[in-house]
Amino acid sequence: MKNLLFAFLVLAAFSCSEDLNPVAGCDVDNVFDLTWLKERIEDSEKSEIGRKYTSLHAAQYGSQTVFMFMNCCPYCSMAPPSLYDCSGNNLGQVGTDRIDWEEITDFEVIWKSSENECIFD
C-alpha cells in the first residue's frame, strides 16, 4: 500500500502544470497559466489513454497563436484534432471546417503527457 501511495505522489508531482516550462504567447508569459489550457491538461492526465498518448502543440494560424491537443493512440479511432485560440474557443477541426494543415505554421510540441509513448520527429 505504501508503494502505491508513493507511486501516486511521484506521478502527481511530475504531472502538475506548475512543472511545465514556460511558453510565451497569447499576450502572457506562460500559456500554461491560461485556465482553460491548464484544465484540459489536467483532464488528459486523468485517463490511461490521455496519460500515454496526449500531447499539446502550439502553432500559428494566420496571425494568431493556436493550440491542438493531439493523440497518437495506435488502437484508437480518432477525429481530426480541433484548433483552439488563446481564449479556448474551438475554431474547428483541422482538415475539415475549412482549416487546412498547410495554413498552420510554426508547429511545435509544448507539452507531453506524463507517460507519453508518442514519437515526435
Mean pLDDT of the chain: 84
With 60 as the cut, is the pLDDT of residue 61 above it? yes
> Do the Cβ atoms of 120 and 20 come closer than 8 Å?
no
Report pLDDT digits (tens) over 81-114: 999 999 999 999 999 888 999 999 999 999 999 9
d(CA 101, CA 61): 10
With 60 as the cut, is the pLDDT of residue 41 above it? yes
Supply the pTM of this predicted model. 0.79
Tell me the average pLDDT across 43-58.
95
Tell me the average pLDDT across 19-47.
90
In what order do the strands lie in the sheet containing 82-84?
90-93, 82-84, 64-71, 54-61, 104-112
Bridge-partner residues for 93, per DSSP?
Answer: 82
Owner of C-alpha cell 493523440: 71
Q: What residues contact residue 92 under an 8 Å CB cut-off, 6+ apart?
A: 82, 83, 98, 99
With 90 as the cut, is the pLDDT of residue 44 above it? yes
Higher-confidence residue of 3 and 54: namely 54
Q: Where are the domains of the chain?
A: 2-112
